[in-house]
């Protein structure tokens, strides 16, 4: 199948008539009509209803079915043409828990973009356990989970840590003196 024929067919459909398509493609009307006829001959189906005195075209049922295929073909053709230009683009897929992505990694992503404009960042939000699974299945390149877990063939390093605090509403009559409690003194049965 000829790419030029498909391009001509899509131009006729998008512009609604052969005359407008010919002007757009800088071709004669007869050339556009000939290309459509060649495409129809190769497919063995009439794509466009031809009516004398009617400027706008209408598609046959075969033309409607082929239109979907032609659009896919056009997209695949465009993708195949971009392989050369995209070969120098590097994709880095980073997964993190939502809070880390939102509040910690924003400046990191901006720095990466400035450092390498040809870097395609794929940023994903997941829970910690999902991140480990995505790494193991090679769906992401880096992960920033909240929980630390050993994972075979991967290096796990602490990236960021902040102190956690407990805020408790003071009961009536309770002393205003602060009492420091270590984590060891907390009952794990009440852990969230």
Asked if residue 46 belongs to a domain, the reply is: yes
65-87 pLDDT, tens per residue?
A: 999 999 999 888 888 877 766 56
Does 61 score more than 70 pLDDT? yes
**Of the residues 32, 48, 83, the one at which a domain ends:** 83
**Of the residues 54, 83, 112, the one at which a domain ends:** 83
- Domain with residue 131: its CATH number is 3.40.190.10
Asked if 134 and 94 sit in the same domain, the reply is yes
Interatomic CA distance for residues 97 and 27, integer angstroms: 56
Q: Residue 174 carries which DSSP code?
A: -
Give CA 157 to chain center in angstroms: 29
What residues contact 48, with CB distance under 8 A and at least 6 apart? Answer: 12, 36, 40, 57, 58, 59, 60, 63
Asked if 62 and 100 sit in the same domain, the reply is no
**pLDDT of amino acid 189:** 82
Asked if 39 and 110 sit in the same domain, the reply is no
Asked if 7 and 61 sit in the same domain, the reply is yes
Question: What is the average pLDDT value for the chain, to the nearest integer?
Answer: 85
Asked if 79 and 103 sit in the same domain, the reply is no
Instruction: Name, of 58-67, 79-88, 116-125, 133-142, the range with top average pLDDT.
Output: 58-67
Asked if 56 and 39 sit in the same domain, the reply is yes
Asked if residue 185 belongs to a domain, the reply is: no
**pLDDT of amino acid 44:** 94
Asked if residue 45 belongs to a domain, the reply is: yes
**pLDDT of amino acid 137:** 85
The answer to whether residues 25 and 8 touch, using CB atoms and an 8 Å cutoff, is: yes
Asked if 61 and 8 sit in the same domain, the reply is yes
pLDDT level of residue 192 (50, 70, 90 thresholds): low
Does 183 score more than 90 pLDDT? no
**pLDDT of amino acid 7:** 92
**pLDDT of amino acid 91:** 84
119 or 164: which leads in pLDDT = 119
Asked if residue 128 belongs to a domain, the reply is: yes
Q: What SS3 class is residue 21? A: helix
Does 169 score more than 90 pLDDT? no
**pLDDT of amino acid 101:** 85
Asked if 9 and 79 sit in the same domain, the reply is yes
**pLDDT of amino acid 86:** 58
**pLDDT of amino acid 89:** 76
187 or 42: which leads in pLDDT = 42
Asked if residue 181 belongs to a domain, the reply is: no
Interatomic CA distance for residues 127 and 91, integer angstroms: 22
Q: Which of 45-59, 74-88, 141-155 has the lowest mean pLDDT?
A: 74-88
**Of the residues 67, 83, 99, the one at which a domain ends:** 83
The answer to whether residues 94 and 103 touch, using CB atoms and an 8 Å cutoff, is: no
Q: Rg (Cα) of the chain, in Å, rounded? A: 31
Asked if residue 170 belongs to a domain, the reply is: no
- Domain with residue 60: its CATH number is 1.10.10.10
Whether the model clears a pTM of 0.75, i.e. scores above it, the answer is no
Q: What range does the domain containing 130 cover?
A: 90-144
The total domain count for the chain is 2
């Amino acid at each position: 199948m000829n790419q030029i024929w498909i391009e001509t067919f899509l131009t006729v459909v998008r512009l609604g008539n052969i005359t407008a398509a010919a002007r757009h493609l800088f071709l004669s009307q007869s050339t556009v009509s000939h290309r459509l006829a060649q495409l129809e001959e190769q497919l063995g189906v009439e794509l466009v209803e031809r009516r004398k005195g009617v400027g706008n075209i209408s598609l046959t049922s075969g033309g409607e079915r082929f239109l979907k295929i032609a659009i896919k073909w056009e997209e695949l053709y465009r993708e195949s043409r971009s392989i050369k230009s995209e070969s120098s683009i590097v994709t880095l897929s980073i997964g993190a828990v939502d809070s880390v992505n939102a509040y910690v990694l924003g400046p990191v992503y901006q720095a990466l973009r400035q450092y390498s404009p040809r870097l395609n960042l794929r940023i994903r939000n997941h829970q910690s356990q999902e991140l480990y699974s995505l790494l193991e299945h090679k769906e992401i390149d880096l992960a920033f989970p909240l929980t630390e877990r050993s994972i075979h063939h991967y290096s796990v390093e602490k990236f960021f840590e902040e102190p956690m605090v407990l805020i408790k509403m003071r009961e009536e009559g309770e002393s205003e003196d602060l009492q420091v409690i270590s984590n060891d003194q907390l009952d794990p049965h009440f852990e969230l």
